[in-house]
Amino acid sequence: MSKQEKEEKRIKIQTIIKTFLVLVIGYIVVIGMVLYFSPETENRIVRVTASIIPYPSAVSSSVFITTERLQDQLAGAKKFYESQDFSKIGMRVDFGTTDGQKRLLIKEKNILNKLIDDAIIEKEAKKRGIVISQDLINQEVDRKMKEYGTGDYLKNNLEKLYGWSVDDFKKNIVKPDLYQEKVFADMQKNDPSFENARKKINEAKHELSDGLSFPDVAKKYSQGESAKNGGALGWFSANQMLPEVASAIFDLEKNKQSDIIESAIGFHIILVEDKKNQDGQDMIKISQIFVPTKNFAQWLSEVKKDYRIFIPIGKFSWNNENKEVEFRDKSLREYEKDLLENPINDPSIIF
């Protein structure tokens, strides 16, 4: 083969490769445009491509959520609502109507918000040295299987209700829940706000031990509306209280006070002032010294201030002030606002 023929062959090969690359890039761009501006499409080619190429639905320097993950979770949520017979409680779900499509968009927006939150929580957990191993995830799933009775029961219900496998359940539910649980436990142990609250409730307990009256100590240390009334709260049944509080005080005798009780919202010391049975239900009259702690939602809201999220999906944007996903379309934002203020009998909005 002559030198000229070799050169012509090289140019031909280069041209074929360049043409192929241009076509591939063009294909990827076109599919991306469909995903970002018509993501509700059911086109199989689009879905298969998105499952291979990780198109982002939300991205930052440390957060990357693919459109495939968002659409998989949306499909699971849609299947859940459509597989239920809500008519028994006077509710219905119909995503086929114009309003139904809007409500499905609200659900998609909420799922994207949750995925972003989960990614941020995992990132913050790793900063604290918390890493959830696969063994721990498997142990948690085994525990849940025992709660449900059998592994087959859980597997069958996951498939029936969400179209999920057990691996999907691990990825979508178990792993994020474990990260949240571990981060909150670390907050309770190490964050200064918890230590300050613990110090304050211990000071209140010490003053009670020294003989100061419960109302006076409540006025000095307690927070909330009841503090100005000496901590008086009134009558309650067990199901009207936080579970950890109810289990600690319902066996106390009249005029007895609890030790320090730690709940999801703070520290409590409870005085049982009176007890009665009303219409067959046990009731207790209580006063409380309450010192709140930072809850998980408050912590998450604070750490999200350090993240700048970009959302390429055409219908959504990131509200950097509120730190959440919102609709670009003003009419959809107004529709969502009206719907939340005047909820209809649609469980996809209520829960």
Among residues 114, 101, 173, 109, which one has the least CA distance to residue 144? 173
Which amino acid is present at 225? E
Q: How far apart are CA 320 and CA 50, in angstroms?
A: 27
Per domain, the residue ranges of the chain are 66-191+330-350, 192-293
Residue 333 has a pLDDT of 92
Residue 36 has a pLDDT of 55
Architecture of domain 192-293: Roll (3.10)
Other Cβ atoms closer than 10 A to 16: 10
| Helices marked H in 235-342 | 243-249, 296-303, 330-341
Contact 75, 81 (CB under 8 A): no
> Which position has the higher pLDDT, 315 or 51?
315
Residue 188 has a pLDDT of 86
Q: Which tens digits make up the pLDDT trace of 277-310?
A: 888 888 999 999 999 998 888 899 999 999 989 9
Q: How far apart are CA 171 and CA 115, in angstroms?
A: 11
Tokens of 135: 């063994």
Q: Which tens digits make up the pLDDT trace of 19-37?
A: 655 554 554 445 455 555 5
Q: How far apart are CA 232 and CA 234, in angstroms?
A: 6
Residue 27 has a pLDDT of 45
Q: What are the Cα distances from residue 20, in Å, to 14, 24, 48?
A: 10, 6, 20
The pair phi, psi for residue 319, each rounded to 5°, is -85, 105
